[in-house]
Amino acid sequence: MKVVFLTSYSVSHIIPIKGLIQYFLKNGHNVICFIHSNNIEYCKNNGIPYIAYPNSYWEKKHHKLIKEKEKKFEKYNRGKDFMKLYDAFLEKDAIEIFNYHSSVANFIETKIEQYDPSIVFRDSTDIYWMKLKEKEKFNNIKTIGYITNNLYSWDYLMKNYDTILPIFLGIINFLPFVTKKYLQEFKENIQNIYKKISLELNEDYIRPFYQYDPDEKYNIIFSQKFLQPKLPNRKNIIIYPPTKRDFAIESNISSDIIELCKDNNLIYISTGSFMSREIEYYREILKTILDNFSKYKIIISGGKATELIQNLIIEMKISEKVAVKKFIPQKYVLMHCKFFITSGGLNSIKESIFFNTPMIVFPISSEQRLNGLILENLKIGFSMYHLPDPIEYFKKNIVTIFNTDYSKGFENLKLDSYDSESVIKQILSELELDNI
């Protein structure tokens, strides 16, 4: 059998599906993963066959119109008209979604036609196969949606106008300027905005927030039952929990990492593989921690910003307290550190829970803000979703955050971790693929 995976931009969207890919390969099936060129090395290292998307896949198609919409921000900001400002932001956000390039669609269509798969696993962020699969020649291909974060459906988002929806939208601290009517009518409002933009751009309509809620006949959520919000009236959802193999400690840990992890008061900072932070974020976080708790040492996973962060540490004269490396064996470090400062991606959350490491979440994206809220409710961390100034919130609450006992929260959780093959066989049975 031939299987295709249409993956997303970030390697964090490939890590959870690695076990499923390797299972198909191990059982003699042909697999091809469409990937961003940045993820070639990861696929090579893990034996994953791949085809790189054309670079134009990630290009903003309507960047000129985006710039025009941004000009409205200044106008409404000067007039202190928050509602018009936010609607302008939603329009800009919508324009950034309509990136369907015909050349990329033709590339994917040709490759899939040549490969002739039986199944396509479609990442929830994909917009190409959503359209291409409707072609008659692809009618015999089974499509399975998947999401590597919690699934945040409209049922959940519209459940609570005081917390859930405003936190997801990033407007929790602006509620005095937002009418309840606006929130109650938000779903209809955002749908109208997307319809308006699709007509303005002469593009096919794409439903708002599609990337948070895949709607194929079957959809896999790479999450945990206790992390995933309840989904009433959804019979097409299958939760794929992590397996023991997902938490295997990295091999060949360098001696300097081993030495750093001997410290009993270690804090680990990583902002994830997809979106990075401004350098001032690190300055304020480091200063706040070391001013209040000098006993701690800090290790930072710097990624592309490693050199900038290293220069910052030299400037701040804190090299004895802070170490920065481009790549960190995260699971090994999580096993040893007292706190994990993270942007709140689900892969990192699952690993932290496995190692009972409390999290301090500085979310960047909408779903990360809700992930942080869930962690607070589980009493295994704090989230800085409190806009407009998460750093200020952190400064005011650092003593509480660092002195909280999280052990009871972790005691109440049991990570569903099973043998990988038994998990996959169960999933395939629910997908009606147990004959493979």
Instruction: Please write the tens of the pLDDT for every residue from 290-328.
Output: 999 999 999 999 988 899 999 999 999 999 999 999 999
Verify that 21 and 118 share a domain, yes or no.
Answer: yes
Please report, to the nearest 10 degrees, the dihedral formed by the alpha carbons of residues 97, 103, 105, 108 taken in order. Answer: -130
Is pLDDT of 174 > 60?
yes
Considering the domain architecture, whether residues 357 and 299 belong to the same structural domain is answered as yes
Model pLDDT, residue 147:
96
Closest CA to 292 of 339, 257, 253, 325: 339
Q: What is the mean pLDDT of residues 149-172?
A: 91
Per-residue confidence at 435, pLDDT binned at 50, 70, 90? low
Are the beta carbons of 404 and 338 closer than 8 angstroms? no
Residues 11 and 116 reside in one and the same domain: yes
Max Cα–Cα distance, the chain, nearest Å? 65
- For the domain that residue 239 is a member of, what is the CATH number? 3.40.50.2000
Q: How far apart are CA 327 and CA 303, in angstroms?
A: 6
Q: What is the end-to-end Cα distance of the chain in Å, rounded?
A: 8
Same domain for 281 and 348? yes
Nearest-CA neighbor of 14 among 320, 313, 216, 246? 246
Note the pLDDT of residue 7.
Answer: 97
pLDDT tens for each residue of 385-418: 876 788 999 999 999 999 999 999 999 887 665 6
Angle made by CA atoms 117, 119, 125, in degrees to the nearest 5: 110
In terms of domains, do 290 and 346 share one? Answer: yes
The mean per-residue pLDDT over the stretch 339-352 comes to: 95
Q: How many domains does the chain have?
A: 3
**Are 123 and 162 part of one and the same domain?**
no
Residue 160's pLDDT band, with cuts at 50, 70 and 90, is: confident
Q: Domain range holding 305?
A: 247-411
Looking at the structure, do residues 354 and 261 belong to the same domain, yes or no?
A: yes
State how far the Cα of 352 lies from the Cα of 340, in Å rounded to an integer.
8
Same domain (yes/no): 267, 143? no
Both 309 and 233 in one domain: the answer is no
Instruction: Report the mean per-residue pLDDT for the chain.
Output: 91
Locate 66 and state its tokens.
Answer: 């985006």
pLDDT band, residue 274 (cuts 50/70/90): very low
Do 383 and 261 fall within a single domain? Answer: yes
Tell me the average pLDDT across 263-285.
Answer: 82
The helix/strand count (H/E) of the chain reads as: 19, 13
- Tens digit of pLDDT for each residue in 34-78? 999 999 999 999 999 999 999 999 888 998 888 877 777 666 665
Instruction: Answer with the residue of higher pLDDT: 136 or 275.
Output: 136
Check whether residue 70 and residue 169 sit in a common domain: yes
The predicted structure's pLDDT at residue 273: 55
Per-residue pLDDT band at 197 (split at 50, 70, 90):
very high
Residues in contact with 319: Cβ distance below 8 Å, sequence separation at least 6, in sequence order:
313
pLDDT tens-digit readout, 98-143: 999 999 999 999 999 999 999 999 999 999 999 999 999 999 999 9
The reply to whether the predicted model has a pTM over 0.85 is yes
Provide the pLDDT for residue 106: 97
Three-state secondary structure call for residue 427: helix
332 plus 351 within the same structural domain: yes
pLDDT in tens, 352-387: 999 999 999 999 899 999 999 999 999 999 999 876
pLDDT of residue 354: 93
